Structure 1
Amino acid sequence: MRLAAIWLLGLMLAVAAAIFSIYLVNTSVAGPQQPVREYVAALQKGEGAKALGLLNASVPQGSASMLDGTALQTAASNITDARFGDAENRSGNQVMVPMDYSINGSELHTEFLLERTGTRWLFFSKWSFVPASLPVLDVTVVNSNEASLNGVPVNMPSGRNSFAVFYPGEYEASLNGQYFAAAPTRTTLSGRDTPPPALNLLTYATDGLKDAVSGKVQEFLDSCADEADKQQRLQPDCPFYHATYNRVVDGTIDWSISEYPAVSIEPFGGRWVVAPLNGKARIQARQVDLFSGIVTDLNEVHEFSFTTRLDIAGDTVKVTPLLNF
């Protein structure tokens, strides 16, 4: 009788231990927090296919450039101090798993909705994310068909594009081209229900483009002055000219540029335009007063102004002077 009681007690303890073990497994490795941990780990490793499968998410229309590899890994790289809270019951077989974490020093909170979809080995619950669509991040850029998002070059047809993105994560857009650039702008996405604000890149012309245009302008003006000297013209086909009632001695006309225009390039009407170019040209010559016959030196500086058309194709910069005579 005593032996039977001992066996019964042992059996009860074994059953209790088994129940407790099942409880521990169901609240840890088989709990609803585990798929969330695996999902965040996949984001930080840049494993987009795995993350998408775990999240049970559909991919909306738009670019998928941010859903894998370096772009995805960069988005999740600053997620630190992740803490997964206790699951909170929702309607049906659904639960909400809260996650608190930091991104670049900012404390953030994300809620994941999961549902019980069955059991494993009879006792252990199987949890899956409730299916939903991924969020969409809109990016615009002024007068450019390309940009960089999380360090990855992306196409920007007509200066805009939409990108399917995972959450949580941080996304930074920038433009660092030879001729055009834009200061980086970023946004942090903590959930699927609140659309992220659009990233708008305000493009500006780089010093490289200004130098290239300035070189073209100086080349045009120097060439124009040289041609005016060869033709000995007071009013050449140039932005500058000299008018006088005196007779200028042939062979003495010498044009030079005393002040080259400062170049300013701004976006306007969907293209890049060069602001009106203002400079100064000097003419030196010998002149004869038609009334007195006195010969004097001519040395005058004339201000001039003209506009141009700017065309850029790849690495080629073309500046076309627009002159009115």
Structure 2
Amino acid sequence: MRRELVTWSIVFGLIVVAFVTTVLIVNATLFSASGFVRSYLGALSRHDMASALQIADIELAEDHGASSDDGSGATPIDTTGAGSMLLAGSHDLLRPSALSTIEDVALVSREINDDGSETVTFVFELDGETSHTTFTVERDGTRFGVFADWKFVTAPLTIVRLTVSNTQEFTANGSEFVTPAQDTPAPYVVLAPSSFEISHSSTFLTAEPITVAATEPGGTIRARLEPVANQTMVSQVQRQVNDYLDGCATQVVLLPTGCPFGQPMANRIVTTPEWSMASYPEVSLVPGSETGSWLMPETDAAAHLKVDVRSIFDGSVSSFDEDVDFTASYLVTFLPDDQLLITPQY
């Protein structure tokens, strides 16, 4: 009996030692501060938005169309671990399809702070670019009484205040979105680290893509996307302007009605005026003063006039066969079904 008791005591002791050793190893790895952050980054790399939000203890408030006081459509984001409202902004970009590609995650530094919190820095490839993020975490009790729990001191969230000019539509990492209002900064809450290629491409507008990288928690990033008239729009306006001016040239009067060119004369005309276009205005478009409008600034052009005239002084007849210079400006607005309304500005 005594020998069996000793044997069982040794076995039990070995089990206790093994258990304690396992707890120490697991707390130093999986349940360490760096292991906690690595789990969060792993969820982001898998595009597992639900797990990333759960690890970060972030709860998205239900969006019932409520907006902030500034009319930006901001929706509150709550960090339940902190028990307080942290950031307000649209969570439209918190969509798995809009998440970045995160690869080659590696811990580069770990520091224990005076208050017991830990600061860890990870390096990784964020959409193909080497980047890094620093997180500060603190103990948040234990799991099963032995494994350490952690939480972020500053939730891994960043505000992107995005302004989209001349339209409300944009794409982020290939997903389509609509801002509350064009030319007005709109706040979007994103997880850090994340990167977004923001662009616009539509029937008449295009924008050079911009990259917005949110790598540090708690900050605000300002970005602006500026779509401009694309070649399709410029070509269509050019055709319609040319057609309009060609119509003006069919009028057999010195001052064609509703047209930007004409030639007053003191002498009497003998033959019917013949107009033709010598050079059309080269269309270029800039944003207009009204939402959804585009302006062709005053642009040089020339029409050609041929007409015989009789002098009121001596009765002699001469030919007027010259180019008549003029400038033209047009306002362009969008109509349904990808049509354009072009209005002369003279």
Please report the TM-score for the alignment, with normalisation by the length of structure 2: 0.78
Contact 2:161 2:223 in 1 (8 A): yes
Q: Distance in 2 between matches of 1:136 and 1:263?
A: 39
1:256 aligned to 2:285? no
Identity %: 25
Q: Distance in 1 between matches of 2:116 and 2:284?
A: 64
Question: C-alpha offsets along residues 170-189 of structure 1, whole Å, 9 cap, x if unaligned?
Answer: 12322223222222222322
Q: Distance in 2 between matches of 1:181 and 1:149?
A: 14
Match of 1:207 in 2: 231
Tell me the SS of whatever aligns to 1:272.
strand
Q: CA deviation at 1:101?
A: 2.4
Give the one of 250, 275, 286 matched to 2:297: 275
Describe the shift of the 1:313–1:163 C-alpha distance in structure 2 as closer, same or farther (beyond 3 A). Answer: farther
Match of 1:216 in 2: 240
Q: Distance in 1 between matches of 2:233 and 2:255?
A: 31
Match of 1:265 in 2: 285
1:119 aligned to 2:143? yes
Describe the shift of the 1:245–1:127 C-alpha distance in structure 2 as closer, same or farther (beyond 3 A). Answer: closer
Aligned residues: 312
Instruction: For 2:43, give the aligned amino acid.
Output: A
Tell me the SS of whatever aligns to 1:208.
helix
1:303 aligned to 2:325? yes
Q: Distance in 1 between matches of 2:97 and 2:248?
A: 52
Tell me the SS of whatever aligns to 1:65.
coil
Give the one of 225, 228, 232 matched to 2:249: 225
Instruction: For 2:281, give the aligned amino acid.
Output: P
- With 38-47 and 264-273 compared, the bigger mean Cα shift is at 264-273
Q: Distance in 1 between matches of 2:154 and 2:330?
A: 56
Tell me the SS of whatever aligns to 2:182.
helix
Contact 2:261 2:325 in 1 (8 A): yes
Q: Which runs of 5+ in 1 are unaligned?
A: none
Question: C-alpha offsets along residues 122-168 of structure 1, whole Å, 9 cap, x if unaligned?
Answer: 43333444574732110112222222222222222132321110011
Q: Distance in 1 between matches of 2:88 and 2:9?
A: 63
Instruction: For 1:180, give the aligned amino acid.
Output: L
Match of 2:97 in 1: 70
Match of 1:136 in 2: 159
Q: CA deviation at 1:213?
A: 1.7
Question: C-alpha offsets along residues 226-267 of structure 1, whole Å, 9 cap, x if unaligned?
Answer: 1x13xxx112212222233443234x3211111000112123
Q: CA deviation at 1:86?
A: 7.2
Match of 1:284 in 2: 306
Q: Distance in 2 between matches of 1:125 and 1:245?
A: 98
Match of 1:24 in 2: 25
Match of 2:45 in 1: 44
Q: Distance in 2 between matches of 1:128 and 1:291?
A: 98
Match of 2:69 in 1: none
Question: C-alpha offsets along residues 165-223 of structure 1, whole Å, 9 cap, x if unaligned?
Answer: 00111123222232222222223222213x24311123322222211221221121111
Question: C-alpha offsets along residues 45-82 of structure 1, whole Å, 9 cap, x if unaligned?
Answer: 3222221111012523322121122112xx2x0x3321
Q: Distance in 2 between matches of 1:102 and 1:133?
A: 18
- With 304-313 and 253-262 compared, the bigger mean Cα shift is at 304-313
Instruction: For 2:205, give the aligned amino acid.
Output: F
Describe the shift of the 1:14–1:224 C-alpha distance in structure 2 as closer, same or farther (beyond 3 A). Answer: same
Q: Which runs of 5+ in 2 are unaligned?
A: 60-76, 78-86
Tell me the SS of whatever aligns to 1:278.
strand
Tell me the SS of whatever aligns to 2:88.
coil
After TM superposition, the runs of 4+ consecutive aligned structure 1 residues lying more than 6 A away are 1-7
Match of 2:261 in 1: 240
Q: CA deviation at 1:293?
A: 4.6
Q: CA deviation at 1:295?
A: 4.3
Structure of greater Rg: 1
Describe the shift of the 1:131–1:192 C-alpha distance in structure 2 as closer, same or farther (beyond 3 A). Answer: closer
